[in-house]
Amino acid sequence: IDVKNNYEPTFELMDDKHGQLKGILDAASQVDDILIASDADREGEAIGWHIAKALEKTKKPIKRVWLKELTKKEIEKSIKNLMDLDENLVEAQKARRALDRLVGYTISPYVIRNFGKNLSAGRCQSVVVKMIVDREREIENFKPEEYWNIQAYLLKSLPKNESGKFYAKYVEKITDKTKALKVKDDLDKSVFTIFDVEEKTKEKKPLPPFITTSLQIAASTKLKFATTKTMNLAQSLFDSSLITYHRVDSTR
């Protein structure tokens, strides 16, 4: 990866892949048109792009076909809607692989040396590690500051079968007990008056369905379950057809 030239990558064919590429080239020499049908995602697009680059020497038309499922209906539909390779997806995958090497290949050896084997910190984990470190430094640098809250609960006599309770909060910042007691004494001698009443309707929408992370967080905070226990229980529920698939990052 040429970091001085806009992080331009240089690709080389792995030694054990020459046979596969030769097979593709031989097959391509026997047809009139070439369709790239790799997976319909960022990585699949990049794989298709690499194959297309290798097949340019054949001088044959190359088109991209997106297959969402391997059925006759889907294949026939996709072949009628051929397209070019999506350069944006290809570039996204290039960036992902570059980050893996520039970040992951640099940080992982350090993590292994200092924290143990079978650990890694690539483009995803390294960001989380930084967030944890930043938060830990905030905690270490925290300066505790005393403060007091003063609240008044006020009851008022109302007609029979009606009840009323009012709540007031002292909003000025109080930083020590002496001031807090003085404010309390002043309020004990005060008369409280309601000067405004506002009525409004509040809507509360249901929470979205669980995804893996929110399931684990809820089980941990409400039931004190370890992640392993949560996932084992979820697996048993899934095996019994009581829940949908539990390893997912989408509410769909």
- Catalytic machinery residues: 245
193 alpha-carbon distance from chain centroid:
49
**Distance separating alpha carbons of residues 141 and 95, to the nearest angstrom:** 36
Instruction: Of 37, 47, 93, give the one whose Cα is nearest residue 68.
Output: 37
β-strands 165-169, 151-155 pairing: antiparallel
DSSP H helices in the chain:
18-28, 42-55, 72-79, 87-99, 105-115, 125-140, 177-188, 212-223, 227-239
Query: Among all chains, which residue has been given the structure tokens 């997912």?
Result: 248
Residues near 158 by Cβ (< 8 Å), separated by ≥ 6?
164
